[in-house]
Structure 1
Amino acid sequence: MNIAVKPEAAADAAAAEIYATPLAELNPAMAKRFQDDTIWPVFARLRAEDPVHFTPDSEFGPYWSITRWNDIMTVDTDHEGFSSADGIALANLEAIKEQERVMGQRRRGAGFITMDEPEHAAHRKAVSPTVAPSNIANMAPVVRERAGQILDGLPIGVEFDWVDKVSKELTAMTLATLFDFPFEDRRKLTFWSDMVTNLPGHGPVESWEQRGAALFDCFGTFNALWNARVNAPPSIDLISMLAHNEATRNMSPEEYNGTVILLIVGGNDTTRNTISGSVYNLNKFPEQYDKLRADPSLISSMVSETIRYQTPLSHMRRQATRDIEIGGKTIRKGDSVVMWYISGNRDETVVDRPNDYIIDRERPRQHLSFGFGVHRCVGNRVAEMQLTLIWEEILKRFPRIDVVGEPTRTHSPFVHGFETLPVIIPARA
């Protein structure tokens, strides 16, 4: 199991540049560093030297970076002091202008995650039955069967892209089930997710016009699904839940479209990139892969450790509703505040050996990746279910999955993921 390792000289050069940059000029949200996987010295330096850090000028405008675990928890659990109504991710200012130009309107919201209380709770409650433990238990046999079908169709002894063949396919299948979306069109869901989270020149996005057309197609498709479900008896799928719930059945088209995007991206990126991250990191730490094969009961803790170590969504953003002091710094009312989950999950003062991937940690669910407080990820149990089932089926079939080259990573300070991951499966069990 060999991974093409990035030359140490290149990693050292990146770290030297980061430590030579004056703190006031450091922009932790520089997407190129996430794509190159050279972001780690930025957060290590900020946690040590300036854990509540202000970037006065960037492509996202000015913003504060919160990089230590306890400070992140302070912000995440204070929904009155830190509002999500202005958006939950850093928004590229050029992207906002271009979306206004192409789509003729301001940036759309992201559904109930960008609502504050009490509206947030009412909208969240509308979709909660779909991801409740009883419904997840009902879904699990279907997800397991489909996971097995995906794995049985993989080539043996031939290099292929794990992201495309497995990670995207499993999440598309599960999302289609949650939405009761036409199964034959399921890959549209991952395509639309990628169109939302990428800028032109990255992922499948070729131009602003193409991106706008894709979003119009997405919204038109889901509007038709709404019209069909609102005139049919209530069902357990997410669209029917929204159409028939008293709190959401009269929401505006903008609120509905935002909720659709939230559910598509939230249901896609966390699971998809953790599936890919588990294969990559088990190869990067082969002793952990040996441990997993020897004891499949470690799958559950391996899943949680991957969610921590990978941190599929790097950050969440809030806006201060009043002047608030954190870490000796005064954050002013209206300031943009970014909680870097990817940094908090590597906080040496809270997580033991945070830069090591250890699948049998004593407290594997100790991570920030799903958030805390009222905005904690509503679909976290669905994600864990998919990841657990796919690995149970993998271990039944394949003695090894070998990563044969470095992945290409997402050009984004928000989605921390993989565009491609080359692998070879040498043999079946």
Structure 2
Amino acid sequence: MNHIATPTSASAPLDQIDFSDPCLLRDDTWHDYFARLRDESPVHYQAESPFGPFWSITRFEDIVAVDSNFKDFSSEPTILIGDISDDLPAEMFIAMDPPKHDVQRKAVQSVVAPKNLAEMEVLIRTRVCDILDGLPVGETFDWVSDVSINLTTQMLATLFDFPFEERHKLTYWSDIAAGTAEMTGGDVDPEERLQGLMDCLETFTRLWHERKANPGDSFDLISLLQRDPNTADMVDRPMEYLGNLMLLIVGGNDTTRNSATGGVLALNLFPEQYDKLRADQSLIPSMVSEIIRWQTPLAHMRRRATRDLEFGGQQIKKDDKVVMWYMSGNRDERAIANPDEFIIDRENPRHHISFGFGVHRCMGNRLAEMQLRILWEEIMRRFKFVEVMGDPVRVNSNFVKGYESLPVRVHPL
């Protein structure tokens, strides 16, 4: 798949820059390129890319305007910059518009209701403690695999009531779900993705029938879908079932996992903030919101114009792709003071768009915040310093803004 050779200098003419190039995220060189878009061309048309032509929306307020207007900017057929392949036409509620979106989302929304979150908190804390107590103090290890992936995979297994000893499959399915070159510029082989996701569908279809044969009062996601009359027969619509499974798996994995790593990196890059945290651990909830903003674990969401319209002084045509770059909006100095700084005691730390906006605002945002809060509460009870020992390796994707690995060493109190 050929990308326009992105110039090494962000000062090149804008029409020579491929803003969909995953290398911008992988090499962490995206900042200057998108700052130019915000300043010079905040509603920017890119005529050529490996994913076809698209509009880039890069300012905070413009992104909010697009994200909260589903009538003009539809989520169908996909929220990725690339198109989904015809060999596996999975459907998911994040790529649907109301009213169908609302019906399907409502069926699983209760898994993250406040009552359930309160009950989950004890379990999450127990698992966080087990993970942190098992870390090799004084040795260098990979934070991504040993902590971030470990924690979020255990949480996913709980949400689905998935066989705990097979939970590694959930991580694998999450990694391949949107990892092909055609979808996000990634390097997952399309055939491997097809086989992996068919295995996912087969596994969850079996779990559906097992749960149906022995119904209980469980609040796992499969049982919730079965109990809601609007989704009770979803297993008979396999592409819809698979699509919503992938949405819940990726939503429950990539975002929290990459924020759990991004927080460690941020505190090492801004050591005065780590000192601030050591001095006042009541800042943890505020810091969690700042981690999610600073990291922005999903870089973009795409919409489709439903009609010809004027936006930001530009003429957008019906069916044009419109890409909201959340990572850029979260670094927009028009909306956020000193946006490139990591500041754990910001006045309004929840003023960010990492969770999206409008009807598609992230369903699990409170669960993600709770996991990160508990993680940092328990880190601070054990370790004076989680020290980064080398450069992070970042994910090759224009969608997932995350980490393959981060070498660290923990220093006890």
TM-score range, shorter chain: over 0.9
- 1:422, CA displacement in angstroms? 0.4
Partners of 1:182 and 1:120 in 2: CA distance: 29
SS at match of 1:401: strand
Partners of 1:203 and 1:331 in 2: CA distance: 25
Check if 1:248 corresponds to 2:231: yes
State whether residues 194 and 204 of structure 1, in contact with CA within 8 Å, keep that contact through their aligned partners in structure 2: no
* Structure 2 counterpart of 1:413: 398
SS at match of 2:324: strand
Residue 260 of structure 1 is aligned with which of 245, 251, 263? 245
Q: Deviations over 1:319-376 (max 9, x none)?
A: 0111121110011110110000000001111100001000000000000000110000
Aligned residue runs from structure 1 range 104-183, under 5 A? 105-109=87-91, 111-183=92-164
Partners of 1:122 and 1:26 in 2: CA distance: 40
SS at match of 2:63: helix
Partners of 2:88 and 2:165 in 1: CA distance: 32
* Structure 2 counterpart of 1:19: 11
State whether residues 148 and 257 of structure 2, in contact with CA within 8 Å, keep that contact through their aligned partners in structure 1: yes
Partners of 2:191 and 2:248 in 1: CA distance: 23
* Structure 1 counterpart of 2:3: none
> After the TM superposition, which of the residue ranges 373-382 and 210-219 deviates more from structure 2?
210-219
Partners of 2:353 and 2:265 in 1: CA distance: 21
SS at match of 1:330: strand
Residue 298 of structure 1 is aligned with which of 267, 283, 287? 283
Partners of 2:283 and 2:20 in 1: CA distance: 34
Q: Which runs of 5+ in 1 are unaligned?
A: 1-13
Check if 1:424 corresponds to 2:371: no
SS at match of 2:347: coil
- 1:250, CA displacement in angstroms? 2.2
Partners of 2:178 and 2:33 in 1: CA distance: 23
SS at match of 1:359: coil
Residue 37 of structure 1 is aligned with which of 24, 28, 33? 28
Partners of 1:206 and 1:192 in 2: CA distance: 11
- 1:217, CA displacement in angstroms? 1.2
* Structure 2 counterpart of 1:75: 66
Q: Deviations over 1:172-213 (max 9, x none)?
A: 01111111111111121111101113237x999663332222
| Partner AA of 1:17 in structure 2 | S
* Structure 2 counterpart of 1:227: 209
> After the TM superposition, which of the residue ranges 182-191 and 171-180 deviates more from structure 2?
182-191
SS at match of 1:337: strand
State whether residues 21 and 185 of structure 2, in contact with CA within 8 Å, keep that contact through their aligned partners in structure 1: no
Q: Which runs of 5+ in 2 are unaligned?
A: 1-5
SS at match of 2:76: coil
Residue 89 of structure 1 is aligned with which of 73, 77, 80? 80
Q: Deviations over 1:43-66 (max 9, x none)?
A: 100000000001111111111000
* Structure 2 counterpart of 1:238: 221
Partners of 1:376 and 1:271 in 2: CA distance: 15
SS at match of 2:301: strand
State whether residues 230 and 244 of structure 1, in contact with CA within 8 Å, keep that contact through their aligned partners in structure 2: no
| Partner AA of 2:297 in structure 1 | P
* Structure 2 counterpart of 1:341: 326
| Partner AA of 1:378 in structure 2 | M
SS at match of 1:390: helix
- 1:16, CA displacement in angstroms? 6.0
- 1:227, CA displacement in angstroms? 1.2
With the length of structure 1 as denominator, give the TM-score of the two structures.
0.91
With the length of structure 2 as denominator, give the TM-score of the two structures.
0.94
Partners of 1:135 and 1:72 in 2: CA distance: 31
Identity %: 54
State whether residues 64 and 337 of structure 1, in contact with CA within 8 Å, keep that contact through their aligned partners in structure 2: yes
Residue 394 of structure 1 is aligned with which of 372, 375, 379? 379
Partners of 1:230 and 1:376 in 2: CA distance: 30
State whether residues 15 and 41 of structure 1, in contact with CA within 8 Å, keep that contact through their aligned partners in structure 2: no
Partners of 2:186 and 2:55 in 1: CA distance: 30
SS at match of 1:399: strand
Q: Deviations over 1:234-254 (max 9, x none)?
A: 521101111221111123111
* Structure 2 counterpart of 1:11: none
State whether residues 176 and 188 of structure 2, in contact with CA within 8 Å, keep that contact through their aligned partners in structure 1: no
SS at match of 2:288: helix
Q: 1:188 to 1:205 in 2, by over 3 A?
A: farther
Partners of 2:89 and 2:305 in 1: CA distance: 20
Residue 324 of structure 1 is aligned with which of 275, 296, 309? 309
* Structure 2 counterpart of 1:272: 257
SS at match of 2:9: helix
Partners of 1:203 and 1:174 in 2: CA distance: 28
State whether residues 85 and 115 of structure 1, in contact with CA within 8 Å, keep that contact through their aligned partners in structure 2: yes
* RMSD (Å) for aligned C-alpha atoms: 1.8
- 1:222, CA displacement in angstroms? 0.8
State whether residues 162 and 423 of structure 1, in contact with CA within 8 Å, keep that contact through their aligned partners in structure 2: yes
Aligned residue runs from structure 1 range 311-390, under 5 A? 311-390=296-375
Partners of 1:293 and 1:425 in 2: CA distance: 15
